[in-house]
Amino acid sequence: MSKKFLESEKLKTRALSCIPHQTGTFSRRANSFVEGVFPTYVQTAEGSHFTDLDGNRYLDYLCGLGPITLGYNYKSVNDAIIEQLKQGILFSLPHPVEVECSEKISKIIPHAEMVKFEKSGSNAVTGAVRAARYLTKKNKIAYCGSGGVWHDWQAAMVSRDGGVPEFNKDLIFVFEYNDPDGLEQIFENNKNEIAAVVFEPTVYENPNNGFLKKIRKLTDENDAILILDEIVTGFRFDLGGCQKYFDFKGDLVCFGKGMGNGLPITAITGKTEFMKAFDDLWVSSTNNSEALSLAGTVAVINEMQTNNTINSCWEQGETLMKGWNKIVTSYNINAKMVGYPVRMKMECWNSTGKESLVLKALILQEMVKKGIFMSQGVSFISYSHSSEDIQFTLNSLDEICKYISQIKNENDYQKHLEGKMPQQVWKMKIPATKKK
C-alpha cells in the first residue's frame, strides 16, 4: 500500500464492503483511472484544484465529470446557497425561486418557452422521450450521442444492459454523427414508428455538409420530435447552448451538469406546444423543486452573464489544445488532443494507427504524478482555470513527452505503468445503421 494514498486505500476497502463497485458513479471508481497511482477520494476542492483524503493537491481537468463550469467552492454560488438555506431546502409547496430560475432560463435559451426541472441528465432526457412518445403515439427512438443516459430505453444499446427488458432492444436505433443517411435509413426501416430523434448536437466532431439541417429536416418530414441532449454542451459552448452556438433548433432540449456548477439540477425546455405534454404525464419527483439547487443555478447564470465566463473557458481551452498538440508533435508522440476547447479528449495511437490505451494510461499516470488530474475520456476547462494552470500543464507535458520519447523504441509502454490499466465504463453494443 502506497503511503501517499494510505487513508484513501483504507477507505476504499471499507467502501467495497458496503457500496457496489465502490461508489454510486461508475466513472468515479478507482479502476476508471490508473489504479494505484491516482487518488481515490477527494477531501476538499477550491477553484481549479482539489485535495485528496491524504492531503495531495491536484489541478483538475475532469471538473466533477463535467458540472464544474465556474470552479469548485465558487463564492457567489456558495453565498446564494447559504442565503437559501436560511429560508429552507424543501417545502410542501413550491418556492418562488423555482419561478425565478425558470424565467431566467427561458430568457437565455432559444425556444425555451417553458422549463421543467429534474435532478439528473438521465431523468431529463427520459422525461423528454416519454413526452415525445405521448405526443406522437409512437415508441421507437433514433439515437446519436455519447451514451450518457441510463434508463431502460437507452441502456439497451450499451454493454451494461443487464436487467433491461428485451423489448427495449427493439425500440432504439443508432446512427453516427455526420451521417444523415444512417438516420434516413432508420426512418425508412421503421415507417411511421419513430417517436423521437435523441441527439447530442456534438460530442467531439464539428458538423459538416449541412448535417444539422438535414437532421432537422428528416425529423420534421417523418413527424418525429427532435430531442437535443445538451446535458454536457449546455452552459459550456454558449450560454444559449448548442442551439445558439450552431443556430440549430430542437423541439425539446435537455440541460444539466454545467448549469448548477456541481449542484444536482437538470432541466427540460421547449416550446409550450411540446412542454404542455407534461400536464398529462407522470414525470414528477419530490426533490425536483429543491430550492438550494435552484438558487445556486440562478447565481451560476448571473455569474456567467456578468463575467462572460464561457468565453474565458474557450480561450484557456484553446491555449491548452494548441499547446498540447504542438508539444506532442515536436516529440513525435502519438497523443493528440481533439474536440473543442471546452470539451476535449486525448486520442493515442500506435505505429499501425490503432488506438493505444496503454500510451494514454502512461501519459495520464505521468500527469497525475506531477499533480495534474485527467481522465481516460473527456477533459474540461472551468472559469477558475488560470493561465498559470495551463502553462504548468504544458510544461509538465513537455517533460513527460521527453521521457516517453526516450522509452518509445522499447515498444513496451506497459512495463512503465506503475498501476493497473484503466477499465472502460461501457461500450456501444448496437451497431450504427448504415444506408443500404
Do residues 184 and 153 make contact, with C-beta atoms less than 8 angstroms apart?
A: no
Grid coordinates in use for 354?
A: 490503432
Just give the CATH number of 3-65+309-416. 3.90.1150.10
Angle at 245 (CA atoms; ends 203, 343), nearest 5 degrees: 35
The CATH 3.40.640.10 domain(s) of the chain lie at 75-307
Per-residue DSSP letter, 351: T
pLDDT block averages, 10 residues each, the chain of length 436:
82 97 95 96 98 98 98 98 98 98 97 97 96 98 88 89 92 97 98 97 96 98 98 97 96 98 98 97 96 98 97 98 98 98 97 95 98 96 98 98 95 94 88 94
pLDDT of residue 427: 86
Q: Where are the alpha helices (DSSP H) in 151-260?
A: 152-155, 180-189, 211-221, 241-245
pLDDT of residue 3: 62
Do residues 119 and 127 make contact, with C-beta atoms less than 8 angstroms apart?
A: no
Contacts of 424 (CB under 8 A, 6+ apart): none
CA 205 to chain centre: 15
Alpha-carbon distance 382 to 373, whole Å?
Answer: 14
Per-residue DSSP letter, 79: H
Tell me the pLDDT tens digit for each residue of 151-189: 898 899 988 889 999 999 999 999 999 999 999 999 999
pLDDT of residue 353: 94
CATH topology for 75-307 is Aspartate Aminotransferase; domain 2 (3.40.640)
HSE (side-chain half, CA atoms, 13 Å) at 90: 6
The CATH 3.90.1150.10 domain(s) of the chain lie at 3-65+309-416
Alpha-carbon distance 408 to 430, whole Å?
Answer: 36
pTM (2 decimals)? 0.96
Tell me the pLDDT tens digit for each residue of 212-248: 999 999 999 999 999 999 999 999 999 999 999 999 9
- Number of Cβ within a 10 Å radius of residue 409: 7
pLDDT of residue 1: 42
pLDDT of residue 2: 56
CA 363 to chain centre: 22
Indicate the Cα dihedral angle 66, 68, 69, 73, nearest 10°. -170
Alpha-carbon distance 217 to 207, whole Å?
Answer: 15
What is the DSSP pairing of strand 252-255 with strand 225-230? parallel
